[in-house]
Chain A
Amino acid sequence: MARNRALSAVAILATASVLAACGGGDSGSGSGGDSGDGTTLTWWHNSNSDPGKAYYEKVASDFEAANPGVNIEISALAHEDMLTRLDAAFQTGDTPDVYMERGGGELASHVEAGLTKDISEDSAAEIEKIGGSVAGWQMDGKTYALPFSVGVVGFWYNKDLFAQAGITTPPATMAELDDAVAKLKAAGIQPISVGAGDKWPAAHYWYYTAMRECSEDVLSDAVTSKDFSDPCFLKAGEDLEALIATDPFNEGFLATPAQTGPASASGLLASGQVAMELAGHWEPGVMQGLTEDKQGLGTKTGWFPFPAVEGGQGDPAAQLGGGDAWACSAEAPPECTDFINYLLSDEVQTGFAENSMGLPTNPAAAGAVADPALADLLTIRDEAPYVQLYFDTAFGENVGGAMNDAIALMFAGEATPEDIVEATQAAADSE
């Protein structure tokens, strides 16, 4: 027994030293393998299918060729995966060097925790070129990320069904929208699909009525002061309540998902079961994935902006939107900013647009957008007096989540305009 014990002790020591040797060997080869004095940039993005994936691989190798000694390690992740892994990465401090920021409250908490690099100086030229779209990624006059794709939300509609119901011009005011809903119903067509099961698609309605009711100053103040006492926020709820009262939505909309499966809000529009849906620039791509012929609505696809609200203080041309931006983590090597500047260059953004990967923010790439519906959107976006970042993103997960929950309750007839403002204010006050 004594000898056995001694033996096992030796065995344990041996195992431990082998493990230690492995660990040491790993780190040794890790630093030695990267071509001597080179730098490695880790880059996480969500273009995990072609053509986007291949395009980004090419972009990275072009950058490596132009900058000898820089090595870029790409992780192409599915969108939801990327968000989960980023959350975990931020909590453990093991962040990738180049990653996606969606701006607003999320960015604010990253900046407060000192996790995101200030790129105001290193990217000054790009920031100027992009112009107003970069505002969602700025805090206290400093810029933390470069938006590479910014889209806007509006109504996507089925031109054939509109014609069938005798609607000649897309509605431009809420009264006209009500009229269109009535005509569609009379023609036996479900007017609007909404993925209220996922909450945010429902919330977009309130965001828009708030943007139409509230002036830009009130909204931008609200983002910083988190004060929702202005009466325009109540009016926004009343407008939405009035719209919901016309019963315009698809059957079972409270449990309808936004874009997963043929019974989702996007699926219903794609298969011609409803006439319109309020959604972002991603909609044509989503619909293509939900139809067997991969065409979505094809040539029947139409788009009109959220209607104006009579008597509202807001500019009817203002658009709700959001997008993705490239950011560098605080610990990233200096080459990181060179790389994200390169990602925003005329050349890379043009290729980005040609591959229909999003709505480019570099004006030089605007002409390269191939899809006609997206090209229209781009014009609307660039002509908008301002693009309001989605409220839930702008206010952060906590306030935004409380707001979305309350709005979804209004769709179920269980919340009043006051409830939405109160729930939002309560969440804001608790911060």
Chain B
Amino acid sequence: MADDVTARTTGTDVAATPRDTAGAADRAPRSAAPAARGGRRGLSSAGRKRAEIAFFTAPALALLALFVVVPVIQAVRYSTYKWNGLGPMDDFVGLENYTQALTDDVFTSAVTHNLVIIVLSILIQLPLGLGIALLLNREIRGRSFLRVVIFMPYVLAEVVAGVVWVLLLQPNGLVDSVFDGLGLGGLTQLWLGDPDIALYTVMVVLTWKYLGLAVLLFLAGLQGVPEEIYEAAQIDGATWWQVQRRITIPLLGPTIRTWGFLSMIGSLQLFDMVWILTGGGPANATVTMATYLINQGTDRSLYGYASAVAVILFGISLVLAVIYQFFVLRRDNEAAPRPRKVKR
């Protein structure tokens, strides 16, 4: 993407006169032209090019700074104060908010829940998503209908889906009726009301909601596996299973790793679905870092403390993202066998 921008701007710039502007526009599709010009102009253009990059990215960078960087810095500053949001912020407490958060049982269990959700998401959704994607990649009847059905939950608004699930899961609600109807009445539970079960109920709803994304990504990735390899494998007499295990899944690697990254970040920041389903309860059984932040922080007007929790959440996300990037995604980024993967 960055290359595109540079190429285009170089083209425009060289066109210093109105006559050239028209010419440059004509030539724009021919990528060789700007490159050749860049070469001819030599060193002086490098600084110029940099200035132009700076000029054209400045608005985006300014927005990023204003809405991302500054708030993060502000949060770090707030997190060192005890402040209720009203009046001057003058009660400096250093790292006290951080020690308070890290020694709070509810917060540590929130972190644990987030980690459990990361692991379970991947353990459940990866095989399930992959299986469904492989199935839907075959020529079967009603394939596009099935694809829509699988993808539908992902498109629904979180809050709407959550409210519907709350209604389904309430005691003597539809889910219980379905169990009764199947003669499994003995298996009904207080799905959202039992502290031992609530987290897993939430996990089921999350799987229902986000499986569609995994399937969609895997299906798209499958389109990138060249047909010839399958043909070669068939000629070599490979079975369907062998083809999937030795060819499809390895070639789907970059997609799977990217999905894993998205899934991990989503699990870390999980808020809306939990907030609607349980509000973090019962008895803090489903509290996540984000619901903790709202419940114990802003709802109690402890803005300093809430900021400290937010900074910890930011830190954990950053560390996990960097580790993942370094150990898992680096290969994909360096080799970039198919740039489409990265964009997706």
Contacts and interface: CB of A to CB of B under 8 A. Distances in A.
Interface of A: 1, 87, 90-91, 109-110, 112-115, 196-199, 251-256, 261, 263, 396-398, 401-402, 405, 408-409, 412, 414, 430
Contact of A109 (B16, B84, B167): B84
A263 B86 contact: no
Contacts of B193: 251-256
Contact of B281 (A87, A251, A408): A408
A251 B190 contact: yes
B83 to A, nearest CB: 10
Nearest to B85: A91
B190 A255 contact: yes
Contact of A430 (B15, B100, B190, B278): B100
B150 interface: no
A254 B172 CA distance: 15
A90 B84 CA distance: 11
6 contacts: A1-B15, A91-B85, A91-B86, A251-B171, A252-B192, A430-B100
A397 B298 CA distance: 10
B227 to A, nearest CB: 49
B299 A87 contact: no
Contacts of B100: 430
B325 interface: no
B317 interface: no
A397 B192 CA distance: 26
A253 B194 CA distance: 9
A409 B87 contact: no
B195 A254 contact: yes
A196 B282 contact: yes
A326 to B, nearest CB: 20
Contact of A397 (B170, B173, B299): B299
Interface residues of B, number: 33
Contact of B86 (A110, A197, A253): A110
Given A87-B85, A255-B190, A255-B193, A109 B283 contact: no
Contacts of A110: 86
B174 to A, nearest CB: 12
Contacts of A263: 167, 170-171, 173
B167 A261 contact: yes
A197 B173 contact: no
A251 B282 CA distance: 13
Nearest to B97: A430
A396 to B, nearest CB: 8
A50 to B, nearest CB: 27
Contacts of A405: 106, 284
Given A109-B86, A112-B87, 6 more contacts: A1-B18, A90-B86, A91-B85, A91-B86, A196-B282, A412-B282
Interface string B287-304: 000000000100111100
Given A112-B87, A401-B296, A197 B171 contact: no
B216 interface: no
Contact of B87 (A114, A199, A254, A408): A114
Interface string B150-194: 000000000000000001001111000000000000000010111
A110 B85 CA distance: 10
A412 B283 contact: yes
B137 interface: no
Contacts of B281: 197, 199, 254-255, 408
Interface in B202-261: none
A409 B284 contact: yes
Contact of B171 (A91, A252, A398): A252
A255 B169 CA distance: 11
A401 B170 contact: no
A398 B305 CA distance: 11
Contacts of A114: 87
B17 interface: yes
Contacts of A261: 167
A401 B300 CA distance: 6
Contacts of B15: 1
Given A261-B167, A263-B173, A412-B195, A254 B283 contact: yes
A405 B279 CA distance: 12
Nearest to A91: B85
B198 interface: yes
Interface in B1-54: 15-18, 21
A393 to B, nearest CB: 13
Q: Which 9 A-B pairs have the closest CB atoms?
A: A412-B283, A252-B193, A254-B282, A113-B87, A255-B193, A113-B86, A252-B171, A401-B300, A252-B190
Given A115-B86, A398-B301, A255 B198 contact: yes
A259 to B, nearest CB: 14
A409 B280 CA distance: 12
A408 B194 CA distance: 13
Most chain A CB within a 10 A radius of its CB, from B15, B84, B190, B284? B84
Nearest to B88: A113
A113 B16 CA distance: 60
A253 B17 CA distance: 76
Contacts of B167: 261, 263
Contacts of B284: 405, 409
Contacts of B194: 252, 254
A255 B282 contact: yes
Interface in B96-148: 100, 106
Contacts of B195: 254, 412, 414
Nearest to A398: B300
A425 to B, nearest CB: 15
Query: Which interface residue of B190, B195, B283, B296 has the most chain A CB atoms within 10 A?
Result: B283
Nearest to B281: A197
Contacts of A412: 195, 282-283
B173 A255 contact: no
A253 B195 CA distance: 12
Nearest to A264: B170
B266 to A, nearest CB: 24
Contact of B278 (A1, A90, A109, A255): A255
Contacts of B300: 397-398, 401-402
A430 B296 CA distance: 14
Contacts of B21: 1
A398 B303 CA distance: 11
A253 B299 CA distance: 23
